[in-house]
Structure 1
Amino acid sequence: MAKAAAPTAERERAQRAADNRGRPTATVAQAGEYIRYGAIDTLHDLQRPRTDEPAEVSFIITTQVMELLFALVRQRWEQACDALDADDVPAAVAALRRGTAAQDVLAESWDLLASLTPTEFNGFRDALGEASGFHSFAHRHLEFLLGNKSRRMIEPYAALPEVHAELERALARPGLYDAALRLLHRRGLPVPAERADRDWSQRYTPHRGVERAWARVYADARPGDELLALAEVLLDTAERVTRWRHRHLMAVKRSMGAKPGTGGSSGLDWLAESAGADVFPELWSLRTSA
């Protein structure tokens, strides 16, 4: 039935366009459908500043935009994981490439706060209390997919059973890089057994054997080689993670300097450490050793 309905709907849209001479229409029914589909009224009701500082609205909207983009990036990365598990490298590469587009927008979202002055930030900072982007469960899920696992980081979400359960599952499953290494192992490349099958709840740590396996991939530079395409799109992904972290660091440095973070961190020092940590480390280290 669904297949038969699609051409009918298409014909109806074509007829409406012809009747309207190609001009869009705006009816009460159409506006209501748009609002309901995207929950637009709800979306615009979610900006609720706690102070009179105008810049707080920009801060809230930027936070909300990033949260939505975290969800989109997670979807792409999970699609890539599933494709790698199914030995479908082209599908994994396609999902990761779509993910990099979302990551680019995510990094550029910091531009919305690029001109936030210390005076403006101080105008609403106290209203944040101890709230911090560090507490984002959507971002935590991305970090788990990147291999930055920590059971302790699930504990703050105990009061949110569904979120807690999702993070538990993410902690126990192979991350994106793990899935790639398992695929290389299945393809006969020399990925060490302790990296192809390990306790997935533990943080990923570099291994020289993994670097050698990736070096083998890069040694075969035939056009169209799918494993080389996978390596490069993983590096594209990793580079964008670092770019987002660095933009975070600079936004904080510009708006509040070296003050401690609202979430209890040391602020700039902690962000700089995070920005300096390589994502998918052997893909970077082999460039020195090659």
Structure 2
Amino acid sequence: MAHQDEALIQPGERSLTYGAYLHVNELLQLQQPLTEPSQHDEMLFIIIHQVYELWFKQILHEVRLATVAVSRDQLIMLNRVVARIKSIQTILTSQVEILETMTPRDFNSFRDRLNPASGFQSYQFRELEYRLGCKEKNYLKFHAHDAHASKILAEALEAPSLYDHFIQLLAKRGFNIPEAVLKRDVTQPYQASDAVLAAAVKIYQEADRYYDLYSALESLMDLDEGLLLWRQRHVAMVERMIGNRRGTGGSSGVKYLTMTLSKRFFPEIWDARNWLGDAQYGDTKNRSATAEQNQ
């Protein structure tokens, strides 16, 4: 009886192989610890963060598709894409647990060698924030030395975000969104709108009528919450490792990271929760009507 592996193809010199397709040899040369003498856990630290950057690349790939889907009113596609992003976010959060297998002593054995590098300088994460709607021009200066990163961030800053496209869709669906919101300067930080809040509340109140929009709101909430949960987990890990010491990039460390926990990419979707529930139903209707009249 033939062995099962006898049917496997033996690659030739010009055949595509697993290693060639994935550039495995090149990939495995990208981990270059800096400490001398070498510290065992620096390899783990490098690999974890390189994997983060790969997942950021994939999330950005998905966010671009999600943005196209919203612009075309293809909300089923949006939900599918965000479901994938949510799964990736679960991995991002769980990877923190691997980092915590290092003790503070292990980390401090090579931490000083990292100065002034910092996760704050991840241009892919900054691009993700821009693509979702958190536009802060001030961050551009931290990448002025990198022409490639500067170009990517400038393009993301000037492009309408995923949330901008969703608000445009609400207007196309007949919700009363004022021109000031629809034609705002997309390079500026988004300011929450009572009209967008009113639309979100109405969609939640009448979920059966607006089920595709309701599902889209929940998908966007999943995306926003996933980033928040990752930030929270990351803050706890950093405090466990370095306490309240300053970050390697010069930030205030845990204090700075804690401030980022207040970020919300889709604020009206969160705020809508304040206006739902039987006890508040009448007040919700009044708030929605008032918001529409004031815009």
Q: TM-score, normalised by structure 1?
A: 0.87
Is 1:25 the equivalent of 2:4? no
2:16 corresponds to 1:45: no
Distance 2:3 2:186 in 1: 58
1:10 match: none
Query: How big is the shift at 1:283?
Result: 0.9
The equivalent residue for 2:96 is 110
1:266 is matched with which residue: 252, 255, 274?
252
Task: Give the unaligned 5+ runs of structure 1.
Answer: 1-18
| 8 Å Cα contact 1:242/1:279 also seen in 2 | no
1:78-157 superposed matches below 5 A? 78-157=64-143
CA distance in 1 between partners of 2:6 and 2:262 (Å): 52
Q: SS at 2:274's partner residue?
A: helix
Residue 240 (structure 1) aligns with = 226
Q: Which residue identity does 2:181 align to in structure 1?
A: R
> Relative to structure 1, is the Cα distance of residues 268 and 75 closer, same or farther in structure 2, using a 3 angstrom cutoff?
same
1:100 to partner: Cα distance: 1.3
Taking a change above 3 Å as real, the CA distance of residues 191 and 24 of structure 1, as seen in their structure-2 partners, is: farther
Question: Is contact 2:121-2:143 (8 Å) kept?
Answer: no
Aligned counterpart, 2:281: none
2:61 maps to a residue whose letter is Q
Partners of 2:6 and 2:142 lie apart in 1 by 52
Q: Tell me the distance in 2 between the aligned counterparts of 1:44 and 1:251.
A: 27
Flag structure 2 segments of 5+ consecutive residues without an equivalent.
Answer: 277-295
Deviation of the 1:87 alpha carbon? 1.9
Aligned equivalents of 2:3 and 2:18: distance in 1? 19
TM-score (norm 2): 0.86
Matched, 1:71 2:57: yes
CA spacing shift, 1:53–1:29, aligned 2, 3 Å: same
The 8 Å contact of residues 81 and 175 in structure 1, kept in 2 or not, is answered as: yes
CA distance in 1, matches of 2:6, 2:135: 53
Contact 1:211/1:285 (CA < 8 Å) preserved in 2? yes
The partner residue of 1:172 within 155, 158, 161 is 158
* Percent identity of paired positions between Structure 1 and Structure 2: 32
CA positional deviation for 1:78: 0.9
Partner amino acid, structure 1, of 2:88: A
Given that 1:189 and 1:216 are in contact with CA atoms closer than 8 Å, whether structure 2 keeps it comes out as no
Partner letter of residue 272 of structure 1? T
Structure 1 runs, 4 residues or longer, greater than 6 Å off: none
> What letter corresponds to residue 201 of structure 1 in structure 2?
T
Answer yes or no: is 1:215 the counterpart of 2:201.
yes
Is 2:83–2:219's contact at 8 Å kept on the other side of the alignment? yes
CA deviation profile, 1:23-69 (whole Å, cap 9, x unmatched):
77374549971111001111111111112221111110110010000
SS at match of 1:78: helix
Kept after mapping to 2: 8 A contact 1:241/1:279: no
Determine the C-alpha separation between the residues in 2 that align with 1:252 and 1:23: 51
Task: Provide the rounded CA distance (Å) in 2 between the counterparts of 1:192 and 1:62.
Answer: 45
Question: Cα distance, 1:258 vs. partner?
Answer: 0.6
- State the SS of the aligned residue for 2:109: helix
1:255 aligns with 2:238: no
Rounded Cα–Cα distance in structure 2 between residues aligned with 1:268 and 1:26: 53
Structure 1 residues 184 and 24, CA gap change in structure 2 (3 angstroms): farther
Structure 2 distance, partners of 1:224, 1:149, is 29
The match for 2:20 is: 36
